[in-house]
Structure 1
Amino acid sequence: MNLTGNWSYPTTIKFGAGRISELAEACKATGMKNPLLVTDKGLANLPITTAALDQLEAAGLGRGLFSDVDPNPNEINAEAGLAVYRAGSHDGVIAFGGGSGLDLGKVIAFMSGQTRPLWDFEDIGDWWTRADPAGIAPIIAVPTTAGTGSEVGRASVITNSVTHEKKIIFHPKILPAIVICDPELTTGMPAFITAGTGMDAFAHCLEAYSSPHYHPMSQGIALEGMRLVKENLMTAFTKPNDLEARAHMMSAAMMGATAFQKGLGAIHALSHPIGAMYNTHHGTTNAVVMQPVLRMNRVEIEDRINAAARYLGIEGGFDGFYDYVGTLNAGLKIPASLTEMGITNPDMDKLVQGALIDPSTGGNPVEMTPENTRALFEACF
């Protein structure tokens, strides 16, 4: 199967093995002459990053690099990146890596020409209209994982280092102008990152599919995204060089992030404060809390999950789907609980408070209250 394509939804996407070779061309198409490549510390010195910088330098585009990005990036990382961006007189950002590098790169480009502080643009009401659109630099996204889908997102998740809360920074122009999806870049991922990011993609699709909001386009995308994860994640996990499985997982990641325009829910409402407070891997946390959230939401989503199970070829309706999630987690070596993830003596009051103020709560099929949210957290430990 020829898994290569040029897509224009939801933005310009150059998809296929080896297409990182088109990075310099993409920069020129967006008008960048001096881009800053933003990635995380773990990727900064790896061959895929060095090769990208070599390509930029050979094309006369410099080799600007910022990599002081934490696994859950915060406003301190953003300020440091902005300082490098401005000192180097850069004119655009290449957001390169997993969710952390992509999210921070997008925020650096977004904030490069703003005069207000970062938190003024949190995804509340129409706060995004406070931004000066002319002050948003061009963005090219190059994902090296297959999970967050941040490469096709109009928002970034940034942790407030003071309050330990994850905040969503939103603006339509945060959507990258060009995305290069090259599955070859994902083959070097450690197995636990393949597992966690893959389950993040599955969580995005599952929550979008389950959300009570009306968005049939997202509904269909979410269902097909779940199928791609079901048929390819375990192969990518056990055979890391299988480019077909890797390509399908990159598609599933983008589909999840496109679909969750319809809404997210309790999986993300729980994982955001957990990640902010205890610095856990986001996708892995989503996987750990997925079954308890399914149990909580069953009363509202059973018929919908029955239909999904039929489409996915899972026998047993809701119960079969629920068991499939548990079997998949076990096969991917996902911890069985938050306790197993290493979280002991959790601050339950703060976790419940963080979950209830998270924007994802509004898309949960069952209304989240202090009582059922506390019970849900307790079920995850």
Structure 2
Amino acid sequence: MSITTFSFPTLIKFGAGARKLVAAQLLEAGCQRPLIVTDQALAALPVLAEFQTHLAGLEVAVFSGVHGNPTCSQVMAGSAAYKSHNADCVIGFGGGAALDVAKLVGLAATHEGDILDYVWDHPQVRPIVNPLPYFVALPTTSGTGSEVGRSSVVSENDTHLKRVVFSAKILAKVVFADPELTLGLSPAVTAATGMDALTHNIESYLSPAYHPLCDGIALEGARIAARSLLAAVQEPGNLQARSDMMMASMMGAIAFQKDLGAVHSCAHALGAVCDLHHGLANALMIDTVLAWNYEAAPAKFEELAHVCGVPGGGKAFVAWLQQLKARIGIVGPLSAHGVTAAQIPRLVEIATADICHQTNLRPCSAADFQKLFETAL
């Protein structure tokens, strides 16, 4: 596999071995003291140590304080590490959580106040006025596509509610998308992150918002994920399948600038209340929500079935998703993953307040979310 370079809009170096190009890129940009932002689990694995062997000529420090769903306190701790190292750039290395934190470490290190002051819906949101440190991103999972996104989602420490900083200024300068970095992922993580990528493409395409550019990307992203997710789970060393899923992940993140839907509102609630992995939460809700959405746009479901190679047309698409989930090991209702009936009122409250369902195919009321969670339980 050769390395391909393209921009959309971020400069992306895609292919096996792309991680080996980071040092030259940083040195060319005049950077010498990078802070690697990663998560606790990844920091203990050989993949990070191997990556660091390719950073000769740089004075490297590592912040590995990311764990679980990313939080505001993790961002602030990362900014303290940035200042302590006297860093001049940030390398985001990890899955969606690590990359979301990495995007904001430089912002917090160069601006006053708490990172919550910069979330888009803050009543007195602070502007990003100072230059941000040079930032590059290396995804090690294929799910959120955070490496190409202009938003960062972090949770409040006390309420666990997800908040969003949204600005083109936090985009990575360069993305090094190296599928070799995902070869060590477990089948369970591959499945959950892969369903996240597939959900992004599906929901963004189904959104009634007008954005034909994103529609085209979402359909192709769904096609790529549909052909390769099972192989990536069942054949962990299949580099072509890993490459396909990394591409589908980036395409989903690009496409969902069009918007998402009620699956994500449900998933955000499940993450806040039950601390479920975001990709798993999407996977557990997608067939329930899409079955409810079908009547609003059967022609769109027909097109999804076509690109994903589902026989039987649009009505068979939801059943195909259920079968795919079972084949990649995501089984059982919400209750099998620790969700209880007693949590539904709070889940409904958070999902109803979430912005994603505002572009769902069908309007979603609190009563609708109640039924969706009860059905999925």
Cross-structure match for 1:285: 281
- Check conservation: 1:111, 1:135, Cα contact below 8 A: no
Q: Is the 8 A contact 1:158 1:166 kept in 2?
A: yes
Q: With structure 1 as the length reference, what TM-score do the two structures score? A: 0.95
Please tell me whether the aligned partners of residues 80 and 109 of structure 2 are also in contact (alpha carbons under 8 angstroms). Answer: no
**How big is the shift at 1:143?**
0.3
Secondary structure at the residue paired with 2:163?
strand
Matched, 1:175 2:174: no
Indicate yes or no: 2:88 matched with 1:94: no
Equivalent residue, structure 2, for 1:195: 191
Confirm or deny: 8 A CA contact 1:35 1:94 kept in the other structure.
Answer: yes
Of 362-371 and 208-217, more deviation after overlay is shown by: 362-371
What code does the residue aligned with 1:78 have?
V
Whole-angstrom distance in 2 between the partners of 1:197 and 1:127: 35
State the partner residue of 1:40.
39
* CA deviation vs aligned residue, 1:150-198 (integer Å, no higher than 9, x gap): 0000111111121121111211111101000111110000110000000
SS of 1:43's equivalent in the other structure is: helix
CA contact (8 A) 1:36 1:63 kept: yes
CA contact (8 A) 1:114 1:131 kept: no
Structure 1 runs not aligned, ≥5 long: none
**Worse-matched range after superposition: 219-228 or 76-85:** 76-85
Number of residue pairs matched by the alignment? 377
Task: Report the equivalent of 2:266.
Answer: 270
1:163 aligned residue (113, 136, 159)? 159
Q: CA deviation at 1:363?
A: 1.6
CA drift at 1:275: 0.8
The match for 1:234 is 230
Structure 2: gaps spanning 5 or more residues: none
Give 1:339's aligned residue. Answer: 335
Tell me which moved more, 45-54 or 95-104: 45-54
Alignment correspondent of 2:73: 76
Shift of residue 126 of structure 1?
A: 9.8
1:240 aligned counterpart, secondary structure:
coil
Closer/same/farther in 2, CA of residues 134 and 243 from structure 1, 3 Å limit: same
Change (3 A) 1:3 1:213: farther
**Distance of 2:129 and 2:10 partners within structure 1:** 18
Report deviation, 1:127: 7.1
SS for the counterpart of 1:261 is coil
Secondary structure, aligned partner of 1:180: strand
State whether structure 2 residue 353 is matched by structure 1 residue 357. yes
Change (3 A) 1:24 1:346: farther
Match of 2:60 among 50, 58, 63: 63
SS at match of 2:373: helix
- CA–CA separation in structure 1 for the residues paired with 2:29 and 2:357: 36
Paired residues of 2:76 and 2:108 also in contact (CA < 8 A): no
1:136-155 equivalence runs, <5 A: 136-155=132-151
RMSD: 1.6
Which letter does structure 2 place at the counterpart of 1:333? G
After TM superposition, the score normalised by the length of structure 2 is: 0.96
Q: Secondary structure at the match of 1:139?
A: strand
Q: Is 1:222 paired with 2:218?
A: yes
Secondary structure of the 2:209 match is: coil
Whether the aligned pair in 1 keeps the contact of 2:116 and 2:122 (CA below 8 Å) is: no
Q: Distance in 1 between matches of 2:348 and 2:240?
A: 41
Q: Secondary structure at the match of 1:256?
A: helix
Cα deviation for residue 358 of structure 1 reads 1.4
Q: Distance in 2 between matches of 1:168 and 1:160?
A: 10
Secondary structure class of the residue paired with 2:210: coil
Q: Verify the 8 A CA contact 1:3 1:244 in the aligned structure 2.
A: no
Aligned to 2:104: 107
**Cα distance per residue 1:241-295 (max 9 Å; x no partner):** 1111111110000000000011111111011121122111110110110011102
Q: Are residues 1:124 and 2:99 paired? A: no
Answer whether contact 2:95 2:140 (CA < 8 A) is retained: yes
- Over residues 125-159 of structure 1, what are the superposed CA-to-partner deviations in whole Å (9 max), with x where a residue is unaligned? 9977x323424222100001111100000111111
